[in-house]
Structure 1
Amino acid sequence: MSRPEILAPAGNLEKLKTAIDFGADAVYLGGSKLNLRALADNFDNEKLKEGLKYAHDRNRKVYVTINVFPHNDDLEGLEEYLKELYDMGVDAIIASDPGIISTARDVVPHLEVHLSTQANNVNWKAALFWHKIGIKRIVLARELSLEEIKEMRRKLPDTCEIEAFVHGSMCISYSGRCLLSNYMTGRDSNRGLCAQPCRYEYYLMEEKRPGEYFPVYEDERGTYVLNSKDMCMIEHIPELVEAGIHSFKIEGRMKSSYYVASVVKAYREALDSYLENPSEYKFKEKWLEYLMKPSHRQYCTGFYFGDKNIQTYDSSSYVRNYDIIGIVKEYNTDTATATIEQRNRVFDGEKVEILRAKGDSFEVALEDMKDKNGKKIDAARSAQMIFTVKTNLELKERDILIKAKEK
């Protein structure tokens, strides 16, 4: 049985390290140009080199997105950029535009190319076409069912890898090809600047009644007619593996480090458990609990089992059950003191939950809270402040502190 890759989003260097620490086999990220998350932190060349070293030192891979729909002026400097990525040791690029792909084949012929989901590949003939011109991996459109994916795997050569999204946000448009954002806000989603107008609440106005707005109802449940749920396939690991999917892709380059850690941990544990003993595999509720705590929308299984129950009409809001409190920078075993970088407010004496790359979560009490100068404080209130606490259990570097949201 082939061992699928878990591919995680890396919106910045911290998230890259978090994804790898929590079990990702590979990460995908945006470099300095031509990626569809222009508003993410992204990676300049120096950060990319650091991220590549961190990944490669741990035998993990890094894929760089060049997946915009480029206009003429976007192509300026493309050849030099591709050569820079190749020289730095990037494991693959992810692209959808034939102009970018053909340029890559010309100037860096040994650099692996993956076909982005933006190319909307939904059949095996198209996948075979791309593979014959040098594409190593097809990132499938989200609109495919599990049966369609199985058929593609049967009809494609083993040398053509298949990657599919298994978790994260869904797009109301066909695998990201959307004009709404550009039309309504001037921000082109196909060049990395989506304003997510599909999440807006809409009303209907009749031409001869200006200013008189009527709600748009769908079965009387609400007005968010374009708003999709998030995909979650954690309960269907056996089906994904048996379908022959090479890479399980997690969406979320704009999401938090806590989201990355929780989702990667859940899929890592579930996949490893299945591969260890497929015949005895049993789903564990704790894996779903990991996914319910960080910010998310209502979950569905996307198009894998048909397209029913994908939209949510009552709200576009996220479900936020837990907040990240901080990340452990170091732990002194002699003094039982943890140094923490703050993410959200936490008080001296509070109990928090510890999310760790390996093992179950557990609670600790934060005692004797001090600022970086050693001054006693009653709370860590300032964003990303460094503070210390004593804990009743030993912590580790890069442990993530979380707590249930205050009601």
Structure 2
Amino acid sequence: MPSALPDGEPVPADGSLPPHALDGAADRPLGFYLHVPFCATRCGYCDFNTYTAAEPGGAARDDYAATAVEEIRLARKVLGDDPRPVETVFVGGGTPTLLPPADLARMLEAVRGEFGLAPDAEVTTEANPESVTPASLAALREAGFNRISFGMQSARQHVLRVLDRTHTPGRPEECVAEARAAGFRHVNLDLIYGTPGESDGDWQASLDAALDAGPDHVSAYALIVEEGTALARRIRRGEVPMTDDDVHADRYLRAEERLAAAGLEWYEVSNWSTAQDPAARCRHNELYWTGADWWGAGPGAHSHMGGVRWWNVKHPAAYAQALAEGRSPGAGREVLTDEDRRVERVLLELRLAQGCPLGLLGPAGAEAARRARDDGLLEPGPYERGRAVLTLRGRLLADAVVRDLVD
């Protein structure tokens, strides 16, 4: 089952925000996340808010774009005369490209029509390799999408089988070539390491295959076994072994070595992009990591504006009903305190290559930062210039370092 939503205070029926949410908004970039909650099949490791046609309560796709457009119009009403154009649009899922390109184009056009897009706006869609064709990619590019992210995960069939991925090895690499031919300047491949049964050679083969395809961005994530997923049940029954933290560390080090040698540099713990082209970074994700503003439209989508965070109802039917009745689909929200926002800045910015300002740390955190520097977890040069920047070893222990710095 998809993961549960957090608790929070009610969202007003009209979706209105506290007045302070837009204080200083002109100095913050604005992005849009559009959630498409449909998948052809459910991957065994996934706990995202997604639905297949075969699942109980599975939702119809035909009217989804029109419903999402209604929330985009609601966003315009809520944000009033906020003059900011949208700088990034990210269509995620689920598998957005299960919808026809015309539906994704309709959603993007609604953002453009209601808010306008910045001249250099980054417009991304996620895609599964089996859900696109040269014709559909050309249609997406024509509609204004200029960045695409393919879920590759692994180049080995037996690893894909454990993950319940349905594409065949080699197809993601073909997709990169097809996207380039369609005119996409920026292409990402997502990889997962540490899958039960994956060998060192399997991981090396996945890295090699991804880089040989020629993307300008690679994301590499350690497999996390989420409670309630099919993979967690298989591990509990002893059908496959549990993932291993030491293996994860070895895989990460190999990823850093191989990606750096190919000319990609890390800019966030799990993300690498072409060193010579700053535009290869995912600017939309940078909004999340730097606490900027974004509106998340779709079932279960999360939004943030000026220290106010809210999230939508999860099921597509409940989401559609709320909008049809003229109500916000918001299920709950929280207003972050100054301390909440300080802690979140440390948590998120420390994951970035530029790190976080030491001035964000309290006395205990500052002392922990000194120890981390002495232990080789923070770079000494940036530390002397007032920033906490993780070393390679620090990246391996990022969660522990962050916990110490926010205590």
- Give the TM-score band, short-chain normalised: 0.3 to 0.5
Looking at CA atoms only, which structure, 1 or 2, has the larger radius of gyration? Answer: 1
Give the alignment's TM-score, normalised by structure 2: 0.37
Greater fraction helix: 2
Structure with bigger RCO (C-alpha 8 Å, 6+ apart): 2
